[in-house]
Chains A and B, each alone.
Chain A
Amino acid sequence: MKRFFALLVAAITAFTTPAFAGSSAAGHPVLPADEVAAFANRVQRDLASRGANVAIVSRVGRDPSVLPDGIDYTHVAFWVYAQITRADGSTGQGYRVYNLYQREGDLTQSDLVQDTPADFFAGAHSLDAGVIIPDPRLQRKLLAVIASPTYAALHNVNYSVLANPRTAQFQNCTEHTLDVVMAALYDTDDRAKIKANIAAYFTPQPVPINGLQRLLAPAASQALTTVDHGAQVGTATFGSIARFMGDNDLAAEIYRITPTALTRF
């Protein structure tokens, strides 16, 4: 049993480390940097052309064939149109990305990090983004929250890959995004109220995982805990947020963008 357990832990660790390191091995880019930058610019231009002040954008961090059914994108963040000042004093307008990232060195913790669209797609498995452009009225509400202390106050540093969005025990990037959306919708910073509304109206993405798997997963990483779930496991994903927003007429556009095509979901 001990040998089995040791092998299991070693194998799991070997499998999971690259993903937590940003979907790239030892700092080597997965895709050519110029292609990543060009795609990031394509997404920026597309959002700007639609007058999007705020958008929810997702990326593919791993080969979709190894992801659970119903999960296509591995990271979600807000893209906010902003006045940007560079170190040389020049200014420009572009998108700034508001992320929740796992913390390097302690994967059970997370940090709120701003970076660029090109950073966002760095390490992506493929140049493919899911995009939600909220209704303009919701965009204004989101901007108000993002520019306020509420945005950081809704951050829970305790990270779980499969965080239950209906509870406040753990949080991942998609759950923080959802919490901010709910805060904007209901004009509240009350976390309990936000969770109550999520529990009432948001359907998480089911994740098929059995009892033995749930028992063993934390041995690989505490970030794989599911103690915040009931009998079944479900987490917030780009798709589940898109469904929620689409079903409640909260989105102006929901689509997929690649280097060569745009497809409405």
Chain B
Amino acid sequence: MQTIKITVTLATLALAAACAAPSTQHTAQSANHSAQAASHGAAAVASGAATVSAVPIIASGAALSVSGAAIESVGTASIAVGGEVLDAGLGTCKTVQTVPCVAPDALPRLD
């Protein structure tokens, strides 16, 4: 029983932040469907298979393309921390580091 418990826990951890790439087959299917969906009115769509370049657009202003509704507050959600708060020892310069210890800057602030 203990083995199962450990196994499930480890498996769960493995899933936590897998950053997994979609499978090739599914990617192609999605790209095709995305292109089809684009023909039904969504201007901001591009198929991965057919894209040859994508250049970031630096623009300011309001809406960039199709219109949309404002955020509806239809429920409540939370991004509150789950579990205990980490102690101050995590990841400090005293633990394993591959970079030299340097002093931090001030709190992040936008001009």
When each residue 189-209 of chain A gets 1 if its CB lies under 8 Å from chain B and 0 otherwise, what string results?
A: 011110111011101111111
In the assembly, what is the distance between CA of A45 and CA of B96, in Å? 44
Is there a chain A Cβ closer than 8 Å to B19's Cβ? yes
Q: How large is the interface on B (under 10, 10 to 19, 20 to 34, 35 or more residues)?
A: 35 or more
Assess A83 versus B55: contact at CB under 8 Å? Given A122-B23, A201-B104: yes
Main secondary structure of the interface of A (DSSP, over half): mixed
Assess A66 versus B29: contact at CB under 8 Å? Given A85-B51, A167-B96: no
* Interchain nearest-CB distance for B109 vs A (Å): 8
When each residue 9-39 of chain A gets 1 if its CB lies under 8 Å from chain B and 0 otherwise, what string results?
A: 0011001100111111001110001101110
Q: List 29 A-B contacts (CB under 8 A).
A: A11-B7, A44-B42, A48-B63, A53-B56, A74-B20, A81-B64, A83-B57, A85-B52, A85-B53, A92-B38, A94-B46, A101-B21, A110-B19, A123-B22, A130-B79, A140-B60, A161-B18, A162-B17, A165-B91, A195-B97, A196-B101, A196-B104, A197-B108, A199-B91, A199-B93, A217-B14, A232-B89, A235-B17, A238-B79
Chain A positions 96-150 with a Cβ under 8 Å from a chain B Cβ? 96, 99-102, 104, 110, 113-123, 130, 135-138, 140, 143, 146-147
- Residue A138 contacts which of B11, B77, B91, B110 (CB distance < 8 angstroms)? B110
In the assembly, what is the distance between CA of A195 and CA of B42, in Å? 40
* Interchain nearest-CB distance for A13 vs B (Å): 9
Known: A68-B13, A122-B26. 15 other contacts (CB 8 A): A22-B21, A27-B25, A45-B44, A74-B18, A83-B57, A94-B46, A95-B44, A99-B21, A102-B20, A117-B34, A162-B13, A186-B105, A203-B81, A230-B95, A261-B72
List of A residues within 8 angstroms of B19 by Cβ: 74-76, 99-102, 110, 159, 172-174
In the assembly, what is the distance between CA of A186 and CA of B111, in Å? 11
Chain A positions 199-231 with a Cβ under 8 Å from a chain B Cβ? 199-201, 203-209, 212-213, 216-217, 220-221, 223-224, 227-231
User: For residue B65, which residue of chain A has the nearest CB?
Assistant: A48
* Interchain nearest-CB distance for B74 vs A (Å): 5
In the assembly, what is the distance between CA of A101 and CA of B23, in Å? 11
- A115 in contact with B14 (CB, 8 Å): no
Binding site for A on B (CB under 8 A): 3-4, 6-27, 29-34, 36-38, 42-48, 50-69, 71-87, 89-105, 107-111
Assess A166 versus B33: contact at CB under 8 Å? Given A51-B64, A62-B15: no
List of A residues within 8 angstroms of B13 by Cβ: 68, 161-162, 207, 209, 213, 217, 224
Return the 3 tightest CB-CB contacts between A and B, nearest first. Answer: A70-B82, A49-B68, A166-B91
- B107 in contact with A248 (CB, 8 Å): yes
When each residue 156-200 of chain A gets 1 if its CB lies under 8 Å from chain B and 0 otherwise, what string results?
A: 000101101111110011100000001001100011110111011
